Amino acid sequence: MPLSAVNPACYQQLLDAKVTRVSTLLAPYSAPAPVVYPSAPTGFRMRAEFRMWHEADELNYVMFRRDDPATPVSIDDFPIGCDRIRQLMPLLRAALKADDILRRKLFQVEFLSTLAGETLVTLVYHRKLQPDWEAAAARLADELQVAVVGRSRKQKIVLGASFVCESLRIEGRTYCYRQYEQAFTQPNAGVNIAMLSWACERAAAAPGNLLELYCGNGNFTLPLAAHFDQVIATELAKASVRAARENLDANGIDNVRIIRLSAQEVAQAMRGEREFRRLAELPRPLGSYDLRTLLVDPPRAGLDAHTLEMASEFEAIMYISCNPQTLADNLLLLGQTHEIEHLALFDQFPYTGHMECGVFLRRR
C-alpha cells in the first residue's frame, strides 16, 4: 500500500466502498446485511518492515511502489503505524546512522509492537555479524528500551527476547499472546479484538465441541476455548505450534489439544483414509470428541476441495477469510448444505482493497 493512499479524512468513504463491493460479491449466497467493524484511521499497525537505503552519508527507511519497484520512496513518517513504532523510527534511524558497526550492510528493519508499547526490532544484514555488532546492538537495545534480533544468512542473534507479549481483553478476560518475530500475527490489534469478540459471540450458540484449522499461535483458540468443553486445534508450521502451546500454558487453558497437521491431513483423518502418528498425542481417538463446530481461517487461496467436503459435514462453521473472492468460491459448495446466519466485515487493512470477512454458517 503506498502511503500516499492514506487519507484519514476519506476513511469512512473508502470503507463504505469496500463494504458495498464485498456485500455485492456475497449477495448471491443469501448473506445477511453485514455488521461492519471499522479500524482506527491511523496508528493501527502493530508491525512494520522497511528496506534501509544507503546513499553517501544518508540512511533512510524506504518502500517501493508496485508500479515502480526499482525506485525507493523515503519514509519520513508512518501514520498507520502504532504510536510506539512512530516514536521509535526516527530514534532508531539516528542511532543506526551514527554507528558504523550497526549500519554496515544493513538491509532491512522490522518492528513488532504491542498495545502496551513492548517492542522488538529485527535488523537484517548482508554480512556475518561479529561480536562487535552484538556489543553495539546491546547498547542500542538498552538506549531505546527494546529487544533486538540480528539476522543474516544462517545467523540469528537475540538480545533480550525473540518475541513480544501482547495482551488482548476479550469478554472481560485478558489473554496474553507470545508473538515471535518474523512469524504471522494479526497486524491490526484493535480490529483483531473485534474479530475475537465476534467469534466468541457466535461460539456461544455453537453446538458440540470445536475443531479449529489453521490455528496459528492460538489467536482464536484461546478465547474460544471458554465456549467449548474440548477444542482440537491444528496447525502445520512448527513455530506456530510451539507458540500456540506456550500461549495455552501461559493462560492456564487446559481443554485444548494442538496437533501438527495440515487441513488436508485433518480431512483425511476425519474420513479414516489415513492414520497419523501425531494423532497419538490425543488422550482418546479423534472421532470421540463430538466435533460439531468447525473454525477455519485459511490463507488467501481459501479451502481446498478435501477440506470443503469435510466442512460440509459440520453442523456449524465459522469461516474467517482474508480474501472475499475465495470465500465466495467456497460458498458455492458450502451453500448447498449450510446457510449463512451472520456476516461480519473487519477492516484490518484500511486504505487498501483488502477486507477480512467473518461468516457463521449453520447446516440446513
What is the rounded CA–CA span in Å between residue 24 and residue 13?
A: 17
In angstroms, what CA-CA distances link 184 with 197, 216, 217?
Answer: 20, 8, 8
> Residue 140 has which C-alpha cell?
542500542
What is the rounded CA–CA span in Å between residue 181 and residue 110?
A: 9
> Residue 282 has which C-alpha cell?
490425543
* Residue 265 is a catalytic residue: no
Angle between helix axes 324-334 and 11-26 (nearest 10 degrees) is 30
The active-site residue out of 82, 322, 341, 357 is 322
For residue 318, give every residue at least 6 positions away whose Cβ sits within 8 Å of its Cβ, in sequence order, or none.
199, 202, 203, 206, 293, 294, 295, 296, 358, 359, 360
> Residue 134 has which C-alpha cell?
552484538
* Residue 356 is a catalytic residue: yes
What is the rounded CA–CA span in Å between residue 48 and residue 78?
A: 9
The active-site residue out of 181, 215, 356, 357 is 356
**Contact criterion met (CB below 8 Å) for 213 and 295:** yes
Q: Which residues are catalytic?
A: 322, 356
